[in-house]
Amino acid sequence: MIRPRRSLLFMPGSNARALEKARNLPADGIILDLEDSVAPDAKAMARDQIAAAVAAGGFGKREILIRVNALDSPWWIDDVSMAGKVRPDGILVPKISSVEDLTAIANRLSDINADLSIRVWAMIETARAVLHAEELAAASRDSETRLAGFVFGPNDISRETRIRMQPGRATMLPMITHCILATRAYGLEILDGPYSDFSNFNGFGQECTQARDLGFDGKTLIHPGQIEACNAIFTPPAEEVALARKIIAAFERPENASRGAISLDGQMVERLHADMARRTIAIADAITAMGRP
**259 labelled ligand-binding:** no
Nearer to ligand LIB3CWND, 47 or 273 (CB): 47
Site residues for ligand LIB3CWND, window 236-275 (CB under 6 A)? none
Contacts of 10 (CB under 8 A, 6+ apart): 31, 33, 37, 67, 194, 220, 221, 222
Contacts of 282 (CB under 8 A, 6+ apart): 2
Is residue 17 part of the contact set for ligand LIB3CWND (CB under 6 A)?
yes
At residue 72, the 3 state secondary structure works out as coil
Out of 222, 230, 250, 283, the only residue in the binding site for ligand LIB3CWND (CB under 6 A) is 222
Q: Where are the alpha helices (DSSP H) in the chain?
A: 16-21, 43-56, 76-86, 99-111, 127-131, 133-138, 154-161, 173-185, 201-214, 227-234, 238-252, 271-290
- Dihedral pair phi/psi, residue 168, rounded to 5°: 90, -20
* Nearest-approach distance from CB 161 to Mg ion, in angstroms: 13
Is residue 164 part of the contact set for ligand LIB3CWND (CB under 6 A)?
no
Nearer to ligand LIB3CWND, 3 or 21 (CB): 21
What are the residues facing 33 on neighbouring strands? 12, 67
Is residue 149 part of the contact set for ligand LIB3CWND (CB under 6 A)?
no
Is the distance from CB of 123 to CB of 165 less than 8 angstroms? no
Is residue 125 part of the contact set for Mg ion (CB under 5 A)?
yes
121 binds, among Mg ion, ligand LIB3CWND, none (CB under 5 to 8 A by kind): none
Of 220, 272, 278, 214, residue with least CA distance to 246:
278
* Nearest-approach distance from CB 129 to ligand LIB3CWND, in angstroms: 11
* Residue in the shown chain whose Cβ atom is closest to Mg ion: 156
9 binds, among ligand LIB3CWND, Mg ion, none (CB under 5 to 8 A by kind): ligand LIB3CWND
For residue 96, the 8-state DSSP code is -
* Nearest-approach distance from CB 148 to ligand LIB3CWND, in angstroms: 17
Contacts of 218 (CB under 8 A, 6+ apart): 4, 5, 6, 7, 8, 28, 191, 192, 211, 230, 234
Nearer to ligand LIB3CWND, 11 or 86 (CB): 11
At residue 44's C-alpha, the angle toward residues 101 and 153, to 5°, is: 40
Is residue 160 part of the contact set for ligand LIB3CWND (CB under 6 A)?
no
10 Å CB burial of residue 247 (0-12, 13-18, 19+) is buried
* Nearest-approach distance from CB 37 to ligand LIB3CWND, in angstroms: 4
Is residue 124 part of the contact set for ligand LIB3CWND (CB under 6 A)?
no
Out of 3, 223, 271, 292, the only residue in the binding site for ligand LIB3CWND (CB under 6 A) is 223
For residue 253, the 8-state DSSP code is S
Q: Which residues of this protein are in contact with ligand LIB3CWND, per CB under 6 A? A: 9-12, 17-18, 21-22, 33, 36-37, 125, 153-156, 193-194, 198, 222-224
Q: Which residues of this protein are in contact with Mg ion, per CB under 5 A? A: 125, 153, 156
